[in-house]
Homo-oligomer: A and B are copies of this chain.
Amino acid sequence: MLDIAVIGAGRIGQPEAAASLAAACGAPVITLDQAFEASAVLIGSPTPTHAAYIERAARAGRAVFCEKPVDLSSARVRSCLAVVASAGTPLMVGFNRRFDPHFAALKRRLDAGEAGRLELLTIISRDPNPPPPAYVAASGGLFRDMMIHDLDMARFLLGEEPVELFAAASCQVDPAIASAGDVDTAVVTLRTASGRLCQISNSRRATYGYDQRIEAHGSVGLLRAGNMTATTVEFADGRGFVTDPALPFFLERYAAAYRAEIDAFITAVAAGRKPTPDGADGLKALVLADAAAESAATHRAVALS
């Protein structure tokens, strides 16, 4: 048995939220100091607290699962990872989509060679609604907050690191987002050393639900994973055949992914294995997000080392 402390209890993060969550799980509410005495620590508190909590847990010899990102500054991530490295403790970063059963099946089948050599990767990721301006201001911007998931997924699937990145972005959904200095619509192109190409498409609005799709085009076939709907029910009349919209947002779409992700963390830690994605994965995705932000701002392609 692994005793696990959870730091952070949802967006509200108030004591009552902690009490309610603990009651639902049959777990005690503990102090922050006590949390670092558990064998493993799950960090779900606000982003600015992540790096320090990770360092404290690592120094205490604890296994850590931290929601992405480790920090919005890649320099701070590097210094944090150095502490973890010197402590030699496990650190997993929460890129939940790797654990989505649909995307994970696509990855397995791609790795099994079903599509042959991967040549073109398409990732579509569109939120149902733009976030409130206050969220945007603290988010690090679309590339670090939203597209970072797709950049991690690109790394996960491409099998090679990107060597070139180009981003184009605009504010088309909500002028308040532009006022906050951010964009709400963005596309990215990645190229790897062997010539694999990847296209990512992001929008902060999709009227038909949370649009999460991947297509992997290979030398012998195409593998793709589509949107999920709440039911298989279809209605037909003179307007046509109508299915359900895509599931509303990440809590519904990735419910199974979140469970599988925590399972993977616990299983790895319990077996003494390093969990993945790890801190280096978190850093690499952030470096790509930084490059995308730079590319969109400068209208130039960015060479990646």
A237 and B225 in contact, given A166-B189, A172-B119 (Cβ under 8 angstroms):
no
Q: Which of A117, A168, A220 has the most CB of B within 10 A?
A: A168
* Residue contacts A-B, CB under 8 angstroms, 21 given: A119-B203, A120-B185, A120-B203, A122-B124, A166-B168, A168-B189, A168-B191, A170-B191, A170-B194, A197-B201, A207-B238, A208-B237, A208-B240, A222-B237, A224-B234, A226-B234, A237-B245, A238-B245, A239-B245, A240-B243, A242-B242
Digit string of A166-189 for contact with B (CB within 8 Å is 1, else 0)?
A: 101111110000000000011101
Please give the distance in Å from A27's CB to the nearest CB on chain B: 15
- Cα-based distance from A264 to B117 in the complex (angstroms): 42
Q: Does A147 contact B (CB under 8 A)?
A: no
The stretch that binds B, out of A99-107, A153-161, A284-292, is: A99-107
Nearest opposing residue in chain B for A214, CB measure: B233
Cross-chain contact B239 with A241 (CB below 8 angstroms): no
Query: Quick one: given A185-B195, A189-B168, are A225 and B231 in contact (CB under 8 Å)?
Result: yes
> Is A164 in contact with chain B by the CB < 8 A criterion?
yes
Question: Would you give the shortest CB distance from A66 to chain B, in whole angstroms?
Answer: 28
The 8 A-B pairs with the shortest beta carbon distances in the complex, nearest first, are A170-B195, A208-B236, A221-B237, A222-B236, A226-B232, A207-B237, A105-B231, A102-B231
Annotate A121-155 by CB proximity to B: 1 below 8 A, 0 otherwise: 01010100000000000000000000000000000
